[in-house]
Amino acid sequence: MTTFRVVSPLPSAPRAAALLALLLALMVAGAAGAQRAAVLELAVDDVVIGDRGYGLTAAAGNRLERFEVEVLGVQHGAGNGFPLVLVRTSGELIEASGGVAAGMSGSPIYIHTERGDALLGAIGYVFAQSDHSVALVTPIADMRTADGATTFVGHVPGYGAAVPVATPILLAGASERTARLLEPLFQDSRLSLLPVQSGGTAPDALDQAHELVPGSAIAVSLISGDVQMSAVGTVTTVEDGRILAFGHPLLGLGEATLPFVPAYVTSILPSLQVPFKLANVGSRVLGVIEQDRPTAISGVVGAEPSTVQVSLSLQGVPGDPVHTFEVAADERLYPVLVATATLQLLDRALGATTPGYADLAWEVTLADGRRVNVIEQVNHTADLAYGAALMAAGPLAVLAANEFRAADVTQVSITMRLEGRQQVATLREAVLESRTVTPGDSAHVHLRLQPHRERAVVRTVTVALPEDVTGELTLLIRGGSVPRDTGETELDEKVIDPPRTFGELLDALRHRVQSSELVVEAITEEGELLRLHREPFPFVVLGHESVVLQVAPADGTAGALDVEADERPAEGGGTTQGTGEP
């Protein structure tokens, strides 16, 4: 005999309290509109091969449409931590779309029983490059208790490996190369980034008319404003102000804070890989996704999301100078999301893949009111937009990865001044004016730098030496973003200590070495590293050189000896990442 569970509007309450709540809802007519009718649920153990039912999903025009399902079997013990029900789908919708489509993940599946239609779960997994009418259903019980499960990587004989139903990433006006920046976010979720679609914004009337019900389309918003990026899927349940959706993870974040908004399906397109929905995305926030687990995403209807407000000012290019957008306030996400949005806006502004140079200035505001101002530069020999977009995420990545405390970034203002020509020079030669100096004296170093397609620049830098250092001193001379080359010397960094507190980290960001600076450091005979000099230039500095001098007390015998350093191959290349250390 089949066993069913009656779900109350308060699924976390004890069974007696749930039944009492259901009786009260039936008895009090005035409260009928505020309560959800009880829904039968079918346990996986009670599923019988050959059971039939139907699914609900939003189709073209955002109409809720049914498709038929038949149970083919139950997949146990695939190492995923929860069972999955194998079903075959059919009907006019499936025939027209060519199978279960990307964007249908989360579509609720109901099975016909002697007591009525019972909720089995949601479409969660399909078989790429196989029969697109066959799918796997994530049981509703496991969607409700997703903690502790692992991402499904099972194999079904005759169909191959099952993968989550692809989650379309809608990027308004985006290119394929923009999606490459997103790959780090999806590396553990086993979701496909394709197809990348040019989704639009739903009209206000459709946005306001969207009804949040099982089978309706929603979009989890990662970027909104002048740039949009959303993941589209389907709602499985709406119960007591909470939703379950997707039937699989989005990014596998666990606890999350991601706004979700209406999605308006315009069409479903067949594909040899996986059919997919095309959709426009609304701007009205419906609530917040709080859990991103292996079996589902879940959230609270009506909650207010936490976001990071971003302003990007582009100088030196045609079009609107200032763009604004919001990204999810999750430190695991916002560095990549800011880079992605920046690349999209730069591509629009530049209209070409071109070399060039950019000055960047950030003002990052934290929740406690503190502000961090950072300046940096980037030069790229082929793709300025890509190099500048990566650079835009730099300070945010440092804050997100810090070991001291949550940065709690609330606002980011970025100003970029773009030049269509390269502004970069490579350090080619360093010559000491005198090889022997006294403690506390200065070393004069003559430098030759080769700018891009311009005459060489000769500059003399004066480096003050510590009064308490004697013996052989190796001077390392390099561009601010060029990695330090110490040869075989092991360093004891007593002066250039890493930050020890969050406050010190903020100070290090504010005073970090810039790519347009020349840095002179010294290695003592004891292996101690000393930073002695920083000098700004009007271009990004690449390359490195080293010279050796003797620091000895004055005894009347020291003479001047010019020694030319061995010329080394220039470091650098296409992109200056601006990774100058604090």
DSSP calls for 28-71? -GGGGGGSPPPEEEE-GGG--TT-EEEEEEE-GGG-EEEEEEEE
Nearest residue to 108 (alpha-carbon basis) of 73, 65, 161: 65
Per-residue CA distances from 501 to 330, 496, 546, 579 (Å): 22, 15, 33, 20
Q: How would you write the pLDDT of the chain (582 residues) with one tens digit per residue? A: 333 333 333 333 333 333 333 323 323 333 333 334 468 999 999 999 999 999 999 999 999 999 999 999 998 865 567 899 999 999 999 999 999 998 999 999 999 999 999 999 999 988 877 789 999 999 999 999 754 445 555 566 666 666 676 666 665 556 678 877 887 787 655 455 544 455 567 777 777 888 999 999 999 999 999 988 888 999 999 999 999 999 988 888 999 999 999 999 988 888 877 788 888 888 899 999 999 998 999 999 999 999 999 999 999 998 879 999 999 999 999 999 999 999 999 999 999 999 999 999 999 999 999 999 999 999 999 999 999 999 999 999 999 999 999 999 999 999 999 999 999 999 999 999 999 999 999 999 999 999 999 999 999 999 999 999 999 999 999 999 999 987 766 665 455 678 999 999 999 999 999 999 999 999 999 888 999 999 999 999 999 999 999 999 876 444 333 434 344 333 333 333 343 444
Task: Tell me the C-alpha distance between 308 and 396, whole Å.
Answer: 11
pLDDT in the model for residue 365: 98
- Assign 83 to helix, strand or coil: coil
Residues 6+ apart with CB under 8 A from 26: none
Q: What is the pLDDT of residue 28?
A: 30
Among residues 452, 479, 450, which one has the least CA distance to residue 572? 479
Name 572's Cβ contacts closer than 8 Å, sequence gap at least 6: 424, 426, 479, 482, 542, 543
Q: Give the span between the Cα atoms of 256 and 310, in whole angstroms.
A: 20
At 510 the three-state DSSP class reads helix
Name the helix (H) or strand (E) containing 196: strand 196-197
In whole angstroms, what is the distance from residue 288 CA to residue 261 CA? 9
d(CA 121, CA 247): 8
Cis upstream peptide for 195 (omega within 30°):
yes
> 50: how many CB neighbours lie within 10 A of its CB?
8
Give the pLDDT score at 54: 98
Specify which residues 313 forms β-bridges with: 322, 415
Q: Which residues pair with 533 in a beta bridge?
A: 520
Q: Where are the alpha helices (DSSP H) in 64-159?
A: 92-97, 140-144
> Residue 467's Cα: distance from chain center in Å?
48
Contact 451, 401 (CB under 8 A): no
Q: How many CB atoms lie within 10 A of CB 537?
A: 21
Nearest to 239 by CA among 149, 150, 328, 119: 119
**Where do we find the tokens 């100003």?**
415
**Which pLDDT value is given to residue 339?**
97
pLDDT at residue 34, as a whole number: 33
Task: Count the neighbouring beta carbons within 10 Å of the beta carbon of residue 343.
Answer: 26
Q: Return the closest-CA partner of residue 183 out of 327, 292, 297, 336.
A: 336
Helix (H) or strand (E) holding 359: strand 356-366
CA distance between the termini of the chain: 69
CA dihedral 11, 15, 20, 24 (to 10 degrees): 20
Domains along the chain with CATH numbers: 4-164 (2.40.10.10), 169-301 (2.40.10), 307-419 (3.10.20), 424-564 (no CATH)
Task: Classify 495 as helix, strand or coil.
Answer: coil
Cβ contacts of 204 within 8 Å, gap of 6 or more:
none
Q: Name 40's bridge partners.
A: 6
